[in-house]
Structure 1
């Protein structure tokens, strides 16, 4: 029997990106379906989050994500531009968020098609692996999406025609994410039990093996 796990994912989260290689390995190795469910980052979901957080929070995230990437051998650089439009001094988050709205809605559309993990793996690399100067410029995203079997222009057009449909998907994801008992990403949820962080995947596998997870 194929087991199923939800993965709540943010396109701004370095640890969400760093969880992808292990997640893809899981799907290749085990009889498992991973339902990647995009949510908005804390900067958008929780107004004023970064103003209330310790000054050490961001510094540690940068340090630890870079360290994890080095340890795992994952190409890594923070996205340029930042998917969130935010003042780096005051931490004020702009009202208009064209980048993260587009990315998250695209992920929601791929989720409706049942292919959000493949789509996210394709485009996340463009944001995070440091291979391009500006991920939002030219045809970088379109070419990456095409390799995974997606027509980015058609997706953008469909979302522009009915953005509320995809916002509803995201809102439902955020509701279920909160109901799981955690607020951060990446969070894997298996049978209503949350496993937060890319460093909890081994624990997730242990739990799923107890519930009958088998190798392919």
Structure 2
């Protein structure tokens, strides 16, 4: 069975644009999916936005809503932003509790085999401007998946070192292929960006991996 590693970030709008199609791939193709959350560049390279080109954010703010419209997806800026940063200077705060809470819960949801589903449900809240970061919102998201927030939090508290180790492994593995997200690696072949999902599907069809 083909193996598909998915490197993905809650702060990436392009990851959000890809998530429904990634879930569809899981349902359509006989493929072993390994969902591998990573921190955004704002955390992995804290000076990324400070040294970035001035065209980056204006283009992003134009392109993402356009792609969402093309794909028939809702879109609005997150409230709150998963990353605490000054959007003028690009300076990123050293502590990022909101982003890390989302990632911790994704790792916890994987114990039940539902990390991809958790990412789908939560990212739809984040990137359509809905409440997402408080316990009420997170309880709603986990309940949709048949999970309990309190149970996930208990697992997180008991497995902190495992989460840290897995995250380090994810980010080191990602950099073997690319630095950005979403990044899909099918049996060692990388496909970077939500605009390469058609290429990924083409390759899966070439491999005759579609479920019968």
Same fold at TM > 0.5? yes
Q: State the shift of 1:185 in Å.
A: 0.3
Which residue in 1 is equivalent to 2:175? 178
Which secondary structure does the structure 2 equivalent of 1:18 belong to?
helix
Structure 1: gaps of 5 or more residues: none
Which secondary structure does the structure 1 equivalent of 2:103 belong to?
helix
Which residue in 1 is equivalent to 2:27? 28
Which secondary structure does the structure 2 equivalent of 1:44 belong to?
helix
- Mapped partners of 1:104, 1:42: distance in 2: 14
Determine if the alignment matches structure 1 residue 93 to structure 2 residue 89.
no
- Mapped partners of 2:44, 2:155: distance in 1: 24
Which residue in 2 is equivalent to 1:152? 149
- Mapped partners of 2:135, 2:112: distance in 1: 26
Structure 2: gaps of 5 or more residues: none
Assess if the C-alpha contact under 8 Å between 2:14 and 2:182 holds in 1: yes
Assess if the C-alpha contact under 8 Å between 2:78 and 2:127 holds in 1: yes
The number of equivalent residue pairs is 212
- Mapped partners of 1:201, 1:75: distance in 2: 19
Determine if the alignment matches structure 1 residue 211 to structure 2 residue 207.
yes
- Mapped partners of 1:85, 1:153: distance in 2: 25
Assess if the C-alpha contact under 8 Å between 2:2 and 2:187 holds in 1: no
| Distance change (3 Å), C-alpha of 1:91 and 1:99 | same
TM-score, reference length from structure 2: 0.93
Q: State the shift of 1:208 in Å.
A: 2.3
- Mapped partners of 2:154, 2:59: distance in 1: 38
Which residue in 2 is equivalent to 1:139? 136
Which secondary structure does the structure 2 equivalent of 1:55 belong to?
coil
Q: Which piece of structure 1 moves more, 45-54 or 9-18?
A: 45-54
Q: Which piece of structure 1 moves more, 31-40 or 111-120?
A: 111-120
Q: State the shift of 1:138 in Å.
A: 5.1
Which secondary structure does the structure 2 equivalent of 1:69 belong to?
helix
Which residue in 2 is equivalent to 1:12? 11
Which secondary structure does the structure 1 equivalent of 2:75 belong to?
coil
- Mapped partners of 2:24, 2:189: distance in 1: 21
